[in-house]
């Protein structure tokens, strides 16, 4: 069979013209988007899982148009919620040409009935075990309408082959995403992943992760490696082994983690030595009451008072903290935007991603907001996290969007940028001096 | 140390911090877009060069640099100025 796997293009980032203009004209925002541009590991992994004897092609629609008249026997489409509308259009177009279409990914997993209206086969949950079975079934003319991970043995990340990055080598990506683990111990109300994949951790062995990175670097020798894991350092023992292995390799990387990484100064040093340059940390809010409501375990609330100290400690090792914040949480009011700006600027965060609270299907948040009658609509292409799709007691949807722009402007402006640059210049000089002193001390102690 | 001795030492620093093999540092290669050196990495490179060669470098000046060749030229020029002044 000839198989095409498609990652649909994101429809748009935001409907606010002011915001779009700011994104376009802000050098910092353009740089951030450039470095965060990349494709998820899902499709190259699915390609690698395809049984032998079939020809597989991958198209990233953000890079290249799909040829709907191409001769394919099977088209597989993956989609996050904001890509769903485009995914369905692609699916409909291929089905109209008589091609068997399969849809998977996080959106199809939580909205299988909706996806089934546009696909011959829907994948629910992880597809590592079900995809090979499906391809074999289809080749024998007995493909089912639904393949649900729940009907297969648990996914063992170690048995997943190295992703077929060679199929994406035609594109120039500044970042290549790989995955070392799956799951997150926290239980944030807005998160879909922990609801779908559970809070139990799954790991890929360090050796396999190293193989994945080596394969990626074969095709993009200068690209940074980004970890798609929800919380890369949840197991410190595993993280230490990972970082130790990276130290012997030549690449720089970034990942997502919680703030507790700052508790271990030795680990921070090892992180820097292994090429870690940026950590995305979900602070979520600057309001304690919001944190209390967000996370059933109250873990983030307990860390709240330590945020400034921990950010300083991480960044002192030359690792930039890129903070993630949400606007539109229940307790947010008109002082919130300035509080977020102040937090980011006062703590010299290297960067920040601020989003509007979005009730993604599959999240506990959505269930609650639907029950409260606060979800405005289900037009998935607005679910980009930069559009307001909820009613808030203190903000109209338009205000949420204009306040979001205000926050970005408060963080990325010439004065703040210059201050941030001066701060990191100082941090780097201190780091260089500290390492020189350490080297001298070590040399003295060994009598060299 | 002469300016000609400088380049291999700078290459070594950039290679260590960026974790990119020095053999990739051709003059026409774009520092950010091709090598993927971000602002934080660049600052660490500048701070290390300052310490190593006893220079005063301006981050704003670096922001105008686009290629590997321009970066080496900038450091070589600052080094030469320092020697004349010193």
pLDDT of residue A163: 97
Within-domain flag for A410? no
Does residue A323 surpass a pLDDT of 90?
A: yes
What are the residue ranges of helices labelled H in A200-264?
Answer: 206-219, 236-247
Q: What is the DSSP string of A423-444?
A: HHHHHHHHHHHHHHHHHHHHHH
Q: How many A×B Cβ pairs under 8 Å?
A: 67
CB contact under 8 A, B36 and A275: no
- A-chain CB neighbours of B42 within 8 Å are none
Please give the Cα distance from A306 to A320 (Å, whole number): 17
Question: Mean of the pLDDT values across residues A170-184?
Answer: 91
Residue of A nearest to B31 (CA): A222
Within-domain flag for A145? yes
Q: Are A251 and A225 in contact (CB under 8 A)?
A: yes
Chain A: closest CA distance from residue B2 (Å): 23
Chain B: closest CA distance from residue A28 (Å): 10
pLDDT of residue A13: 67
pLDDT tens for A128-174 read 999 999 999 999 999 999 999 999 999 999 999 999 999 999 999 98
Q: Count the Cβ atoms, other than its own, within 10 Å of residue A409.
A: 15
Within-domain flag for A83? yes
Q: Are A43 and A61 in contact (CB under 8 A)?
A: no
| Sequence-distant contacts of A95-102: CB under 8 A, at least 24 apart | A95/A119, A95/A120, A97/A68, A97/A69, A99/A72, A99/A73, A99/A74, A99/A75, A100/A73, A100/A74, A100/A75, A100/A138, A100/A143, A101/A74, A101/A75, A101/A76, A101/A77, A102/A74, A102/A75, A102/A76, A102/A77, A102/A134
pLDDT of residue A448: 58
Within-domain flag for A25? no
Question: Mean of the pLDDT values across residues A263-292?
Answer: 93
Question: Mean of the pLDDT values across residues A420-438?
Answer: 92
pLDDT of residue A198: 66
Q: Give Cα separations from A401 to A4, A19, A262, A366, B28 (angstroms).
A: 37, 8, 33, 19, 42
Can you point out the beta strands (E) in A44-142? 55-60, 74-78, 100-104, 121-124
- B-chain CB neighbours of A31 within 8 Å are 32, 38-39
Does residue A185 surpass a pLDDT of 80?
A: no
ipTM over 0.85: yes
| Residue A441 binned pLDDT confidence (cut-offs 50, 70, 90) | confident
Give which of A97, A151, A82, A91 is closest to A121, Cα–Cα: A91
pLDDT of residue A47: 98
- B-chain CB neighbours of A223 within 8 Å are 36
Weakest-pLDDT range from A137-141, A247-251, A354-358, B60-64: B60-64
| Residue B56 binned pLDDT confidence (cut-offs 50, 70, 90) | confident
Does residue A212 surpass a pLDDT of 90?
A: yes
Question: Mean of the pLDDT values across residues B57-79?
Answer: 87
Does residue B28 surpass a pLDDT of 90?
A: yes
Q: Are A107 and A79 in contact (CB under 8 A)?
A: yes
Closest CB to B51 among A174, A318, A436: A436
Within-domain flag for A253? no
Q: Count the Cβ atoms, other than its own, within 10 Å of residue A122.
A: 24
Question: Mean of the pLDDT values across residues A180-184?
Answer: 86
Q: What 3-state class would DSSP assign to B16?
A: helix
Does residue B86 surpass a pLDDT of 80?
A: no
Does residue A196 surpass a pLDDT of 70?
A: yes
Please give the Cα distance from A204 to B9 (Å, whole number): 38
Within-domain flag for A123? yes
User: B3-85 sits in which CATH class?
Assistant: mainly alpha
Please give the Cα distance from A418 to A50 (Å, whole number): 50
Name the average pLDDT for chain A. Answer: 92
**A112: CATH:** 3.40.50.280
CB contact under 8 A, A424 and B36: no
Question: Mean of the pLDDT values across residues A82-108?
Answer: 97
Best of A29, A173, A277, A438 to mutate (most B CBs within 10 Å, chain B): A277
Give which of A164, A163, A172 is closest to A62, Cα–Cα: A172
CB contact under 8 A, A222 and B59: no
| Residue A38 binned pLDDT confidence (cut-offs 50, 70, 90) | confident
Q: Count the Cβ atoms, other than its own, within 10 Å of residue A23.
A: 19
Residue A160 DSSP symbol: S
Q: Where are the domains of chain B?
A: 3-85
pLDDT of residue A137: 98
Which structure tokens are listed for A94? Answer: 């291929």
Q: Count the Cβ atoms, other than its own, within 10 Å of residue B85.
A: 6
- Main-chain phi, psi angles of A64, to 5 degrees: -155, 145
CB contact under 8 A, A432 and B50: yes
Chain B: closest CA distance from residue A221 (Å): 9
Does residue A352 surpass a pLDDT of 90?
A: yes
Does residue A11 surpass a pLDDT of 70?
A: no
Give which of A280, A282, A418 is closest to A348, Cα–Cα: A418
Domain count for chain A: 1
Does residue A446 surpass a pLDDT of 90?
A: no
Give which of A121, A110, A36 is closest to A77, Cα–Cα: A121
Residue of A nearest to B50 (CA): A429
Quick one: which H or E segment has residue A5? strand A2-7
Does residue A21 surpass a pLDDT of 90?
A: no
Please give the Cα distance from A312 to A314 (Å, whole number): 6
Closest CB to A222 among B20, B47, B60: B20
pLDDT tens for A40-51 read 899 999 999 999
Question: Mean of the pLDDT values across residues A398-402?
Answer: 95
Within-domain flag for A441? no
Give which of A327, A347, A183 is closest to A256, Cα–Cα: A183
- Residue A138 domain boundaries: 2-14+40-151
CB contact under 8 A, A432 and B19: no
Q: Are A355 and A386 in contact (CB under 8 A)?
A: yes
Within-domain flag for A232? no
Which structure tokens are listed for A319? Answer: 């690792």
| Residue A107 binned pLDDT confidence (cut-offs 50, 70, 90) | very high
pLDDT of residue A66: 97
Does residue A235 surpass a pLDDT of 90?
A: no
């Amino acid at each position: 069979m000839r198989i095409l796997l498609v990652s649909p293009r994101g429809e748009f980032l935001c409907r606010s013209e002011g915001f779009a203009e700011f994104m376009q004209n802000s050098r910092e925002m353009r740089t951030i988007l450039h470095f965060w541009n990349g494709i998820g590991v899902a499709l190259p992994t699915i390609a690698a899982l395809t049984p032998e004897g079939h020809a597989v092609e991958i198209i990233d629609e953000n890079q290249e148009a799909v040829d709907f008249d191409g001769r394919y026997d099977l088209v597989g489409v993956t989609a996050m919620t904001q890509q769903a509308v485009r995914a369905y259009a692609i699916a409909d177009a291929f089905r109209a040409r008589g091609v068997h279409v399969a849809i998977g990914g996080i959106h199809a997993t939580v909205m299988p009935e909706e996806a089934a209206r546009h696909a011959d086969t829907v994948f629910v949950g992880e597809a590592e075990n079900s995809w090979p079975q499906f391809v074999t079934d289809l080749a024998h003319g007995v493909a089912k309408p639904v393949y649900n991970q729940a009907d297969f043995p648990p996914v063992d990340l170690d048995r997943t082959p190295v992703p077929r990055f060679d199929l994406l080598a035609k594109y120039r990506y500044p970042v290549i995403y790989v995955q070392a683990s799956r799951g997150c111990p926290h239980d944030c109300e807005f998160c879909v992943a922990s609801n779908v994949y559970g809070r139990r951790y799954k790991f890929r062995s360090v050796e396999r992760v190293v193989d994945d990175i080596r394969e990626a670097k074969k095709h993009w020798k200068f690209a940074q490696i980004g970890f798609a894991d929800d919380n890369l350092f949840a197991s410190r023992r595993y993280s230490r082994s990972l970082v130790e292995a990276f130290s012997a390799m030549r690449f720089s990387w970034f990942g997502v983690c919680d703030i507790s990484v700052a508790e271990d100064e030795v680990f921070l040093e090892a992180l820097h030595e292994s090429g870690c340059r940026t950590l995305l940390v979900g602070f979520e809010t600057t309001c304690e009451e919001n944190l209390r409501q967000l996370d059933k375990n109250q873990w983030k609330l307990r860390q709240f008072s330590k945020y400034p100290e921990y950010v300083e400690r991480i960044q002192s090792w030359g690792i930039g903290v890129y903070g993630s914040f949400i606007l539109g949480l229940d307790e947010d009011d008109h002082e919130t935007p300035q509080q977020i700006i102040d937090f980011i600027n006062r703590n010299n965060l290297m960067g920040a991603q601020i989003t509007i609270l979005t009730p993604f299907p599959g999240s506990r948040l959505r269930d609650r907001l639907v029950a409260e009658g606060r979800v405005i609509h289900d037009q998935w292409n607005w679910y980009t996290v930069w559009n307001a799709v909820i009613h808030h007691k203190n903000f109209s949807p338009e205000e949420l969007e204009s306040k979001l722009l205000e926050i970005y402007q408060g963080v990325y402006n010439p004065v703040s940028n210059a201050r941030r640059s001066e701060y990191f210049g100082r941090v780097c000089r201190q780091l260089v001096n500290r390492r020189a002193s350490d080297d001298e001390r070590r040399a003295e102690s060994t009598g060299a | 140390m002469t300016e000609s001795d400088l380049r291999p030492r700078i290459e070594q620093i950039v290679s260590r911090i960026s974790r990119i093999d020095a053999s990739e540092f051709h003059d026409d290669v774009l520092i950010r877009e091709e090598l993927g050196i971000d602002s934080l990495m660049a600052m660490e490179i500048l701070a290390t060069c300052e310490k190593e060669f006893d220079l005063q470098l301006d981050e704003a000046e670096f922001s105008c640099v686009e290629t590997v060749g321009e970066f080496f030229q900038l450091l070589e020029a600052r080094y030469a100025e320092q020697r004349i002044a010193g």
